């Protein structure tokens, strides 16, 4: 087990000073939230709290059921990394429960602090803003909770309450606003998306000698691929891998300039934006008259994607009327023998696999990526059993934390994953998540682990016989 040793510069006082930049009015306006903190913010926050308690019975249960046993404490990578007791999941959740007791229980209204019930005042709001944005909603703590308390749902509710009164972070709100403006998290305009796809087609021609297409806005294709926009501009090997895969299968596919993004940062903000961002994917599928939607290598995109029926209604206008992850799709094709692999092509690497939090604990995506890697690599090794599958550690930057102003928190949170990787001796870590692909190279560099980060499909197509 990883020992609870705080990073030297991250004791409680230092941790509390590391907060995300506040949202900008221009972005708040774009996503239909108050442009600044509302005048009667305490009253509005408590009203929103009451609304969420009525709407989500699970939240009500989580407020009442916690025995404060501490079973979750050493399961959180942010507590392990920072040593700040407020980053114990039970302590972070207590920030919300203390307000719940003050306004929603008879004993709290009557006795206040004597029963750990506290006003939602300026000091409490600042604690919420700090520590609910030092939680990546990864749900690792929930796996070990004897009562099944989903601490991520508590974090999500706290953020929704804050958003309703005009308190949110610049990073999350800016990303959501970019989706509404340009169709993706990075703010890439449609011509740039098309140009980069054409550029990568040229790269593929140079590498393979084959005319492999990365289609855009093509009507009537079999597949609409909604990959993270980072795959087209940062993780380009993964983007090219999609093209090679569909080329080898002879399957028509396309991306959409209206919605060329699988990632959904509404998941890290509030329900209305979660629903609205996901609706764009459904709308793009209708516009292009595709037969199925496949989500690319992105963790939280898949967590939002599997909620599509609940969020946006049934996908009964598609031939394949349910969400499909690219790893599920590829694993199924692999079992059918739809393409040939030469595993020796990856003999120069020792590969391990990082389970992204959302696919592992909220997306039922555990074995398919491993099946792909085992079929593609002769030298595949797992990390310790207590750090994989449902028990995986977060990369340290999920949940809307991939922002530079809290870099020390990110590096501290990534330490348990770095150490588990170091123990394998692997020089490549594969993962199907864009956030992890952005965070883990920094983590490995910071903790001096000699390991590169790769997409799952990057290794697959390296072994593919075309």
Pair (268, 313) in one structural domain: yes
Buried/exposed 243-273: b ≥16 CB within 10 Å, e otherwise: bbbbbbbeeebbbbbbbbbbbbbbbbbbbeb
Residue-wise pLDDT for 27-53, tens only, equals: 999 999 999 999 999 999 999 999 999
Q: How far apart are the first and last CA of the chain?
A: 43
158, part of any domain: yes
Residue-wise pLDDT for 322-373, tens only, equals: 999 999 999 999 999 999 999 999 999 999 999 999 999 999 999 999 999 9
Pair (17, 164) in one structural domain: yes
7, part of any domain: no
178, part of any domain: no
Our CA dihedral for 279, 366, 450, 185, rounded to 10 degrees, sits at 0
CA pseudo-torsion sign 18, 24, 30, 35: positive
Candidate from 2-6, 15-19, 101-105 with smallest mean pLDDT: 2-6
103, part of any domain: yes
Pair (162, 17) in one structural domain: yes
Query: How many domains does the chain fold into?
Result: 3
Pair (133, 267) in one structural domain: no
Pair (188, 157) in one structural domain: no
25: left (phi over 0), alpha (psi -120 to 50) or beta: alpha
Residue-wise pLDDT for 216-247, tens only, equals: 999 999 999 999 999 999 999 999 999 999 99
What's the CATH number where 443 sits? 3.40.50
Pair (390, 330) in one structural domain: no
d(CA 456, CA 225): 16
175, part of any domain: no
Pair (161, 144) in one structural domain: yes
What the block records as the tokens of 244 is 């090679």
| Domain final residue, candidates 301, 316, 334 | 334
| Domain final residue, candidates 315, 334, 353 | 334
Pair (350, 321) in one structural domain: no
What is the predicted pLDDT for the residue at 9? 47
> What's the whole-model pTM score?
0.94
1, part of any domain: no
Instruction: Write out the residue range of the structural domain in which residue 401 sits.
Output: 340-465
For 425, residues 6+ apart whose C-beta sits below 8 A from its C-beta are: 350, 381
454, part of any domain: yes
What's the CATH number where 121 sits? 1.10.1060
Cα separations (Å) of 437 from 236, 252, 273, 330, 379?
A: 12, 27, 24, 20, 21
What is the pLDDT averaged over residues 188-213? Answer: 97
Pair (326, 386) in one structural domain: no
CA pseudo-torsion sign 291, 268, 358, 437: positive
Pair (283, 300) in one structural domain: yes
| Domain final residue, candidates 139, 168, 197 | 168
Residue-wise pLDDT for 378-422, tens only, equals: 999 999 999 999 999 999 999 999 999 999 999 999 999 999 999
What is the pLDDT averaged over residues 194-206? Answer: 97
6, part of any domain: no
Residue 11 in this model has a pLDDT that exceeds 90: no
What the block records as the tokens of 427 is 């020089």
d(CA 197, CA 296): 16
Query: Do the Cβ atoms of 232 and 216 come closer than 8 Å?
Result: no
What is the predicted pLDDT for the residue at 10? 52
What is the predicted pLDDT for the residue at 16? 82
Q: Report the share of the chain in percent with pLDDT over 70.
A: 97
Pair (134, 243) in one structural domain: no
Residue-wise pLDDT for 104-133, tens only, equals: 999 999 999 999 999 999 999 999 999 999
Closest CA to 245 of 452, 434, 463: 463
Pair (160, 29) in one structural domain: yes
Cα separations (Å) of 68 from 113, 118, 139, 149, 221?
A: 17, 17, 17, 11, 53
What is the pLDDT averaged over residues 204-222? Answer: 97
Q: What is the mean pLDDT of the chain?
A: 95
For 23, residues 6+ apart whose C-beta sits below 8 A from its C-beta are: 33, 167, 168, 169, 170, 172, 173, 174
């Amino acid at each position: 087990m990883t020992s609870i040793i705080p990073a030297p510069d991250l004791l409680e006082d230092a941790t509390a000073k590391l907060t995300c930049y506040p949202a900008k009015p221009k972005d708040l306006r774009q996503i239909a939230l108050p442009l600044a903190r509302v005048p009667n913010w305490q009253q509005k926050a408590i009203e929103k709290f009451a609304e969420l308690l009525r709407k989500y019975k699970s939240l009500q249960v989580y407020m009442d059921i916690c025995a404060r046993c501490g079973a979750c404490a050493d399961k959180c990578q942010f507590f392990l990394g920072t040593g700040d007791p407020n980053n114990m999941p039970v302590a972070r959740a207590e920030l919300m429960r203390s307000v719940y007791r003050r306004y929603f229980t008879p004993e709290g209204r009557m006795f206040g602090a004597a029963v750990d019930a506290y006003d939602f005042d300026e000091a409490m709001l600042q604690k919420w803003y700090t520590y609910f944005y030092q939680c990546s909603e990864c749900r690792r703590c929930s796996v070990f909770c004897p009562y099944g308390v989903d601490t991520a749902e508590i974090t999500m509710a706290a953020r929704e309450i804050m958003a309703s009164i005009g308190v949110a972070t610049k990073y999350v709100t800016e990303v959501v606003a970019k989706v509404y403006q340009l169709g993706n998290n990075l703010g890439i305009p449609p011509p740039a998306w098309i140009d980069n796809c054409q550029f990568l087609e040229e790269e593929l021609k140079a590498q393979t000698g084959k005319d492999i297409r990365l289609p855009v806005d093509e009507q009537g294709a079999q597949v609409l691929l909604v990959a993270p926009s980072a795959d087209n501009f940062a993780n380009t090997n993964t983007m090219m891998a999609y093209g090679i895969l569909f080329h080898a299968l002879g399957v028509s596919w396309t991306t959409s300039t209206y919605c060329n993004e699988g990632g959904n940062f509404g998941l890290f903000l509030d329900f209305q934006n979660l629903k609205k961002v996901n609706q764009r994917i459904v709308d793009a599928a209708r516009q292009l008259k595709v037969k199925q939607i496949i989500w690319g290598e992105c963790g939280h995109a898949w967590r939002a994607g599997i909620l599509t029926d609940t969020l946006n209604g049934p996908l009964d206008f598609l031939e394949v009327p349910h969400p499909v992850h690219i790893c599920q799709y590829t694993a199924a094709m692999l079992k059918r023998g739809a393409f040939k692999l030469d595993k020796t092509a990856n003999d120069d690497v020792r590969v391990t696999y990082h389970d992204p939090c959302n696919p592992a604990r909220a997306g039922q995506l555990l074995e398919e990526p491993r099946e792909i890697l085992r079929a593609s690599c002769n030298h595949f090794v797992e990390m310790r059993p207590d750090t994989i599958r449902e028990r995986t550690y977060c990369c340290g930057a999920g949940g809307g934390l991939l922002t530079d102003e809290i870099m020390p928190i990110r590096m501290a949170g990534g330490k348990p994953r770095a150490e588990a990787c170091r123990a394998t001796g692997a020089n490549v870590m594969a993962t199907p998540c864009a956030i992890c692909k952005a965070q883990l190279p920094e983590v490995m560099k910071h903790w001096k682990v000699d390991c590169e980060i790769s997409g799952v499909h990057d290794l697959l197509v390296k072994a593919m016989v075309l």
